[in-house]
Structure 1
């Protein structure tokens, strides 16, 4: 490897995209940033699907409450002790780190898989949002795996096309809007479940009132999480619920996808802040969505296995529920379309992200026509985790274990050879997992931990045999020089950014707008509590529920007007302060 001069390295750094460099100290964020991001991303339209899926799987109510708590705790610990440390030590995205460690074919295959995965997730979200608009336009419910009405086809195509164009050309504006949706979405999920509990209580006990926690458990076990599937078979076990909850985000934590997010964290303990998403989204929202799904299915006389998220939200929240599904699905779809475009660009660097996003968007729009994709979303993310977590194991071995075992990190790049051990350590565990699934030996929700763990020793063994045990002083010296010059570059960037200026908007109207949207959410929550505890009979319950629908709808309009106005004022003030 030829020795580079300082000037050559500096020119190389200046020519690299910011995504290919470690994050600088001046770009790091505090804990509040990550708590908000995880809450916003994990409270979305998909939660309606997850909640209904656990009901359809025949989960028991006590198993759900305990199993989701344990599974989501395991997910939080995985973010904290697997993802966050390597992210904060390297300050790189998983894509960049994998390219340095494995390079070539492995990176392209990984980017290709991610491009397809995020495109499919986007398609599912577009379909979820379309179920809400379908109610507004009066199309029949899409209960089959394929579209059954031309109106739904037109709606899904139109909605998908808009989502793709926004992801390609207007993502920043949408990301700003999505950033304010988290608190409102959490309130919508919580209140939707509260409002439908009296309807379930009436169907079980003959009265819409609740007198104790044990009565709540009885109602949940009788009408929602019954322990049996709709066909009367024994339902999923406690272990299954734990496994699904832990596996739902396995591609993000064990698979290290969220290195891209946590590389901006000042401390590795910020990984604990994933708990805002796991417990507000994957616990509270899933349980609430289960209650909403069971009640809505009973009200409209439809099986919970096919009832649409839009129909569920409409029964729980009225028109505000339709807005919840549309916004939750749309913001998630666009974020994943953006990720899909980035991953696709990694395969074809000669194309811009916009062009790649448009190409993948064509696939997304067609896939969005088929409702079976979103109905199988829980299994989908579980399978995604099985495919992607070996990459996490490989990078953990590369980063931590090779140096401790006297081997060289980044050996394949130093040696100038293909990292065949990475391909083998990825392919063998996945192949074994596929065989296990085909033979029915182990459920899918139990597979990602052994797949992840198996990839680690496989990589170490193969890497030792193929060159990792050798030393590459020239390559290590070049990387050391590169890291030193990156620090100098970041110091210069920090000085140019003028980060010392105070950009906090303390103007009265900006503060008042925050108070307005907070009070607004409190009023919506109070309305749901009023329906739950002050409806002595079913006729009164219906009156109170209709009143709540009006409160939720009006409150939604007020919330977004106040929150978005405040956001625009804060951004405008920050620009002027820096100028």
Structure 2
């Protein structure tokens, strides 16, 4: 039975706005996504990934070209797969899956996400703790399990604080995280630059590199050698490309980032993920590999047991510790928050805060084991095998169904459990596990056949289960619902002020100071790299760089955070002024009693 406009409007008014398709006024431009992906994909685990390619024995050209291919494939997947579905549906993958798949598959998917995000959070917290452990004299943990009580206490302390922040103070941390992107990008870039003269000296006896060809020869001889630390033949270009593509497969092929990309104004904004993939996962990984290999050589320690804290200290001094702590902690908190939301989706009776606390207990235990962060690369590969098939099902529901004469949301219209989706996911995941265990193809590519199989099986199973039946009345009802949602959103937009840019002199000065601080750090790193004619000059200038890096870091965060807070004040004043105007009988004309679309009749 078709619903009336009034009934639909009542439903919209009583629905959590997060569960409604986004409105045009909520969408963002290219700059927003460029900054977002740059900040999110330059994290503490870049130290781990950089070392991974060295440990796996990748050659220099395998890394230079393989990383370019793999990360370009990731960008294309974000652009051509995730972004179109996200923009057209306007929902997060969690909401969309619940709408067309039902509560059964939604709960299973949320449980899988809770596990994945908990492991990621634990790895990040362990990475952050490795910076502090060196400061207070705790030895590097070389085993898969903790071997020092002080390390366990440190990780537990870090984890408890992180969990409490995720539960009670996430907004403040999220604000802080938004300003970390430019600084992290600079830190990962300069870390590799500053250590290159030391790497060159270990090969050629001189600290200067005269050409790109010489750089490639030196990096190939000392860092990306083509053989593992144990002397075995390393992985090739195809495997490097696969690992780079798979690293974020749960976000692009698995559609997790529908939650972000649904806010894109244009389809091509999906290409802005390149700031994260081609910088965070190309430049930062390569630079981190250089830092790890150089640190191993300078400290006479195997790169297989070096911690991110050890590497960051040699490359960046005190600023390196800050880099590891900030990069790890901000990413851990964001994923703790996601894990809490996913757990709440499995157990709706729990509040988001309580769900996050329960997840936090698990994260505290897992974070105590160095095995987790050292095996982060294979862990995220398995995450892709687990979650990518759901992305294939989502893509099939929205994009493939019309091509095969099937109806989107058919299971909801029919009032049945979407068993075809559950079966397709289970079979595709089984195929992915089989590929990983037998390695009939590189495990790094296992998510690709899993995604394809899930999408095709879902079309086949759904057609047999009733997706090809006639749901004309239900489709018309849904289309009317979407029209009323957009009308509701448009009226919301009319009542809200747009973003007001803070153009005051103080704010401009603050922005200029933090940009100058980053520039000084970057310029002096190039001085160390290009103008160190001998080892004595190099060591002297490197020590000076350490001082400049930590001083510039302090200046950057003080000024950038101050600017952020000033901008919030300007926005809040504009919002309050707009509210006052809208509610004023003298200026509003209707005494603020304008009827809203979607309000109960």
| TM-score by shorter chain over 0.5 | yes
- The answer to whether the aligner puts 1:568 opposite 2:565 as a matched pair is yes
Give the aligned partner of residue 284 of structure 1: 283
- The answer to whether the aligner puts 1:448 opposite 2:447 as a matched pair is yes
Query: Hey, what's the Cα distance between the residues in 1 that align with 2:226 and 2:45?
Result: 23
- Displacement of 1:495: 2.1
Contact 1:189 1:289 in 2 (8 A): yes
The alignment of Structure 1 onto Structure 2 pairs a total of residues equal to 576
Query: Hey, what's the Cα distance between the residues in 2 that align with 1:433 and 1:78?
Result: 19
Give the aligned partner of residue 205 of structure 1: 204
- The answer to whether the aligner puts 1:354 opposite 2:372 as a matched pair is no
Query: Hey, what's the Cα distance between the residues in 2 that align with 1:467 and 1:158?
Result: 53
Query: Hey, what's the Cα distance between the residues in 2 that align with 1:435 and 1:213?
Result: 42
| Correspondence list, 1:244-259, <5 A | 244-259=243-258
Q: Which stretch shows the higher mean deviation, 105-114 or 479-488? A: 479-488
Query: Hey, what's the Cα distance between the residues in 2 that align with 1:525 and 1:401?
Result: 48
Query: Hey, what's the Cα distance between the residues in 2 that align with 1:268 and 1:350?
Result: 37
| Correspondence list, 1:114-513, <5 A | 114-499=113-498, 503-513=500-510
* Corresponding residue to 1:577 among 571, 574, 577: 574
Secondary structure of 2:464 counterpart? helix
Give the aligned partner of residue 544 of structure 2: 547
- Displacement of 1:171: 0.8
Give the aligned partner of residue 598 of structure 2: none
Q: Which stretch shows the higher mean deviation, 553-562 or 502-511? A: 502-511
- Displacement of 1:481: 2.4
Query: Hey, what's the Cα distance between the residues in 1 that align with 2:141 and 2:424?
Result: 42
Query: Hey, what's the Cα distance between the residues in 2 that align with 1:75 and 1:53?
Result: 19
- Displacement of 1:439: 2.8
Q: Deviations over 1:349-390 (max 9, x none)?
A: 222211111110110111100011000111111110111111
Q: Which stretch shows the higher mean deviation, 478-487 or 375-384? A: 478-487
Q: Deviations over 1:113-161 (max 9, x none)?
A: 0011001100000000000010111111111111111111111001000
Query: Hey, what's the Cα distance between the residues in 2 that align with 1:150 and 1:438?
Result: 35
Contact 1:190 1:288 in 2 (8 A): yes
Query: Hey, what's the Cα distance between the residues in 1 that align with 2:470 and 2:563?
Result: 56
- Displacement of 1:472: 1.6
Query: Hey, what's the Cα distance between the residues in 2 that align with 1:535 and 1:47?
Result: 27
Query: Hey, what's the Cα distance between the residues in 2 that align with 1:388 and 1:523?
Result: 43
Give the aligned partner of residue 523 of structure 1: 520
Query: Hey, what's the Cα distance between the residues in 2 that align with 1:456 and 1:263?
Result: 21
- Displacement of 1:478: 2.4
- Displacement of 1:488: 2.1
Secondary structure of 1:306 counterpart? coil
Secondary structure of 2:183 counterpart? helix
Unaligned stretches of 5+ in structure 2?
A: 577-601
Query: Hey, what's the Cα distance between the residues in 1 that align with 2:26 and 2:139?
Result: 49
| Correspondence list, 1:98-109, <5 A | 98-109=97-108
Secondary structure of 1:357 counterpart? helix
Contact 1:503 1:578 in 2 (8 A): no
Query: Hey, what's the Cα distance between the residues in 2 that align with 1:487 and 1:558?
Result: 44
Query: Hey, what's the Cα distance between the residues in 1 that align with 2:472 and 2:191?
Result: 61
Query: Hey, what's the Cα distance between the residues in 1 that align with 2:58 and 2:90?
Result: 40
- Displacement of 1:436: 2.6
Cα root mean square deviation, aligned: 1.0
Contact 1:199 1:295 in 2 (8 A): yes
When the two structures are superposed, what TM-score results if normalisation uses the length of structure 1? 0.98
Query: Hey, what's the Cα distance between the residues in 1 that align with 2:330 and 2:532?
Result: 35
| Correspondence list, 1:57-72, <5 A | 57-72=56-71
Contact 2:195 2:291 in 1 (8 A): yes
